[in-house]
Every structure is written in C-alpha cells, then in structure tokens.
Amino acid sequence: MSCAPSLIDAHGRTIRYLRISVTDRCDLRCRYCMAEAMTFLPRSKVLSLEEIALIAERFVARGIDKIRLSGGEPLVRRGVTELCQRLGRMIGGGLSELTMTTNATRLREHAPALADAGIRRINVSLDSLDPEIFRYVTRHGDVAQVLDGIAAARDAGMAIKINMVVLKGLNEDHVGDMLDWCGREGHDLSLIETMPLGAIDEDRTDRFVPLTRVFDTLSDRFTLTRDSHQTGGPARYWRVAEHGNRLGLISPLTANFCAGCNRVRLTTEGKLYLCLGHDDHVDLKDALREGGIAAVDAALDAALPRKPAAHDFRIETGAAPAVARHMSVTGG
C-alpha cells in the first residue's frame, strides 16, 4: 500500500475507525431499527466483497487502524468470512483490530472462521434475555439461538460485549438483570439510547429512555466506578465491582459524544457517511468503478472537510427522523 496523508477533518479530528455495512439485509426486524415490511437494496447496487476489501485496504493505507463489520446482519451475506480473512491479513500491518457487530443468530456456524480471521472480540445486539420480550422486539427472533451463538463465540476464544438498546415499557426494568447476567458470563455490557434513524412503525418518543435515569437505578444495585477504558467507539465506561466487568453508556441524546468522534461509515452500496446523524456523503463505489483507487483517494480528500462537528439527533413527539435512512443501511 502506498503512503498517503492521514484522514483529518476540518475540526482537527484524526479519523482512525471505519465501520462497514456489508449488507442492509437482516434476519430479524427489531422494532426500533426497521419497519416490518422493509425494501432492501437489489444486489446489483451493492459493493462486491472485492470492492469492499479494496476500499478498506485504502483506508488502512490512509491511517485507519480499526475496522468494524456490521449490517443489517453481516453474517447473512454469503462470503463474508472470506472478506474477514482478507481484512484480517492487515492486522499488524497497519490495522490493529478487526471486529464485528452481529445479532448472533448465525454465530454458531461462523464463529470458528471469524476467530481464525483474527477477530478477537465481537459486539452482540441483545435487548432482552426474556424469550417473549426478545421475540416482540425482534418480531420473530429466538433468544435461545442467540445465546447458543454467543456460547460458540466464547468457545472460539472471542471476547463478547452485549449491546442493549433500552426501551421504555419493554426492557427498561430488565437492565439490572442483564448486567448481572453479563457479569456472571464474563461479558461487558453497553447500553444505548434509541436513535431517530429511519421511518419505523412506532413513535420512538414512546420508547425513549434517558440513560442518566438508567444509570441512577443501576447505581442503587451495583458499585459503579468510572473506568478509562476506550475501544475507539462512543461509549463511556464504568467498572462493575460486583463482577469485574464493564458497563458502557452510549448516550447520543443525553450526553453528546461528538467532540472526540474518530469514525466514518461505509454503506453496503458504497456511500461514505461522515456522520451517523447527517446525510452528507460521497460515493466511493462510483469513484472506484470510474477512476480506481486514485479516485477513491480524491473522494476521501473532498469528503473530510465536510464532516460536521456534531449530529443533531433529537427525540420529540411527531418529529421526523434525523435522517431518512435506517440504521441497517449505515451500519452499527
């Protein structure tokens, strides 16, 4: 890989973290993420796995040292483990970490290959351990299948962090039990405020829970001490004395984390979004297909000055989503 300038935005932030949505498709339909009747991209419009690899390799040449693969559900895309193998070969050669966010429904099948590719830790989206609540949130999911996938990943040697979106009236009263379960199982837990991305079938205002309130409730049950741990993402961490694991809070609405943002996101159709909460983007698929890697570099140089200082998320009754695209399009 040739040397090229680092990726630094107009606010002086060095971009080191690339999140790639390898597919907008998913085998679940979580209510806060998707509408029940989704229209997914035709395969002709998505990046090939070869194109994803070429773009990722160029990002690493420009200073990206962490890549997270996501979706949708990344493991529903055929050939994704081969992509992981290719990207994993950059670990130690510019890339420090390759990770994945998954719903774990297919982890039993793929965990050994992911570990072999160099993935040492994964994030698993899991909003409830209760089978009925889980089925309701996901519209048809089986929590036992997810727990089996988590066990397979642990057996393959991967560390696991659970991502839990806190939802009023559904799982808010189960957060303490989830933290307790994570501690017993040796997993960290990150709590996430629901974000206004894409049109769904419900009013997000009805489900929004400020994590400040959740943290106060957890503090009555657990001994929580601020932890300096950083993963490159937006979470702020606390150590849980009772188990020794960590609790992370991702609070885009009640505790804005944009000042230290080091991330950009590549969608499955090749659009590079500079911010999760804005629509500004450049099309790296067109750049690659029309002008090769040199055009990708030029597109990146044009994009970075447009990265905003902060998102403009807000939760208000009747307010339109901050952006029209769903989370599954941009990637978690």
Ligand-binding site membership of 3 (annotated): no
CB 80 within 8 A of CB 22: yes
Q: Is 100 annotated as a binding residue?
A: no
**Is 195 annotated as belonging to a binding site?**
yes
CB 128 within 8 A of CB 166: no
Nearest to 51 by CA among 278, 290, 304: 290
Is position 161 annotated in a ligand binding site? yes
3-state DSSP assignment of residue 27 = coil
Cβ atoms 179, 308 nearer than 8 A: no
Q: Three-state DSSP class for 59?
A: helix
Burial 8-28 (b: 16+ CB within 10 A, else e): ebeeebebbbbbbbbbbbbbb
The residue among 222, 211, 156 whose CA lies nearest residue 184 is 222
* Residue 72, annotated as binding a ligand: yes
33 appears as a binding residue in the annotation:
yes
The stretches of 122-257 forming alpha helices (DSSP H) are 131-138, 143-155, 175-185, 211-219
Spell out the residues 6+ positions from residue 28 whose beta carbon is closer than 8 angstroms to its own.
Answer: 73, 103, 105, 138, 139, 140, 141
Q: Which residues are annotated as a binding site for S-adenosyl-L-methionine?
A: 32, 72, 125, 195
Residues annotated in the binding site, as ranges? Answer: 19, 26, 30, 32-33, 68, 72, 101, 125, 161, 195, 258, 261, 263-265, 275
Which residues line the annotated binding site for GTP?
19, 68, 101, 161, 263-265
Annotated binding residues for [4Fe-4S] cluster? 26, 30, 33, 258, 261, 275
